[in-house]
Amino acid sequence: MKIVITGVTRGLGRALIAEFMNAGHTVIGCGRGGEAIFDLRMTHPEPHDFSVVDVAQDSKVALWAAKVLEHDAAPDLLINNAAIMNRLSPLWEQDDREFTKLVDVNIRGVQNVIRHFVPAMVAKKKGVIVNLSSGWGRSVDRGVAPYCMSKWAIEGLTKALAEELPQGMAAVALNPGVIDTDMLRSCWADGAASYPKATEWARTAAPVILAFGVKDNGRSATIGT
C-alpha cells in the first residue's frame, strides 16, 4: 500500500509511519522540520520518501504532489495529520497573526493536500482519505477556541468530501483520542503523562486506519479515549 501522510516529524505522525513501514507499506511523508526529515530520509531510504513541506503553502504542496505523482501512482491512503495548537488564552486575546497561522495549517493545509492529491485518487476511483480531527472537533473547552474551530471545520469538511467522492472511495474524520504528545503537553503540561504515548497509540491505531474502506465513508471515527 502507498501511504501519503503529513506531519511526520514528531508525535502521532512519526509514530504512525514507523508502524506502517514495519507492516511493509510504502510511506511518503512531509513535515516542516528539516533536521527530522533528513534523519527520516537517511534511516528509511527508497521506496519511502520524506520531504520538507509546509502544508500551509499551496505552491509547496503542489510541487510535492507533482513529485509524488510523477509516475501516476496515486496513494491508496492519504492522511492529513499536520496541525498546530494555539497559545492558551481566551479567544479575544488571540491576535490575528496567531489565528491566521493556525487556520493556514489546520484547515487550509488540509485542503491544499486534498486539492493536489485527491484528483489522482478520484481518477482511479480508489483510495481512502483520513483527516485527523480531535475530541475538540466534537466538543469545546476554554483557552483552545481557535483549535476547536479548526477541528470542527475538519469534521464538516470531511463529511462534505465524503458526499462528493465517487463510489469506491472514502473520507474519514479521525479523533485519535487523548495522547501524550508535545501538543497535549502545551495544554496540560505534566498532566499529559497519564495518557498513552504516541508509539503505544500507533500500535493500536495503525491497523484500524489501514482497515478503513468504503464502509467508513463519511464516518467520524475515534481511536482511544
Active-site entry in 50, 64, 147, 195: 147
- Rounded to 5 degrees, φ, ψ at 69 are -95, 10
Known active-site residue 147: yes
Exposed / middle / buried, residue 42 (Cβ in 10 Å: 0-12, 13-18, 19+): exposed
Residues with active-site annotation: 147
